[in-house]
Amino acid sequence: MKNFERRDLRADIVNQSSSYILDQGSPVPVSEYYLNDLPSIEEAVESFGLPNSIWVTHIPPSGGILDVLQNGQSVGSKALRNKIVKEQPLLTLHGHIHESPIITGRWYEEIGNTVSINAGQDKDLHAVIIDIEPSKIRLRHTLFGGHLINQDNLNM
């Protein structure tokens, strides 16, 4: 299931255009309320919140620099950003919007004390090497094969 098919906030409603979903490549009929009956992203992240934790979610948080499409539209999760602001995990890792770091020129942002990363991807595979020490996080953004793009040291 794609994130855009799932409700972000508990109160959101999805206008379902199909009464079928694919299950291992085969169409399966579902009720017209199927997507609205599933837990929202907000409900799914309610259990997140261990201190000094690292979260890995496909969708990035909304309203920053990690969720920007080529047309400039922000398409991340408001529920996830709200949860990051509230819980302040040590680190969050995201993907989904491959072009966002290229469009914004930034592959990480700080949300309060949390470092959030979307390495990005274009014709080359991008990666981030993360070293976590007691008082800082060292980030190195590279292209697959070791070409260093840039490096940042963040004090925690």
Sign, CA dihedral 65-66-71-73, equals negative
| The pLDDT of residue 110 | 95
Q: Compute the Cα dihedral for 27, 33, 35, 38 and give only its sign.
A: negative
Does the structure show a pLDDT above 80 at 15?
no
- Tens digits of per-residue pLDDT, 94-127? 988 989 998 998 999 999 999 999 998 887 788 8
Whole-number average pLDDT of the chain: 86
CATH node for 45-155: 3.60.21.10
pLDDT at 13 over 90: no
Residue 122 has a pLDDT of 82
Q: What is the pLDDT of residue 29?
A: 82
pTM of the model: 0.82
Domain boundaries, the chain: 1-41, 45-155
The residue among 3 and 9 whose pLDDT is bigger is 9
Rounded to whole angstroms, the Cα distance separating 106 from 103 reads 8
Average pLDDT over residues 139-143: 85
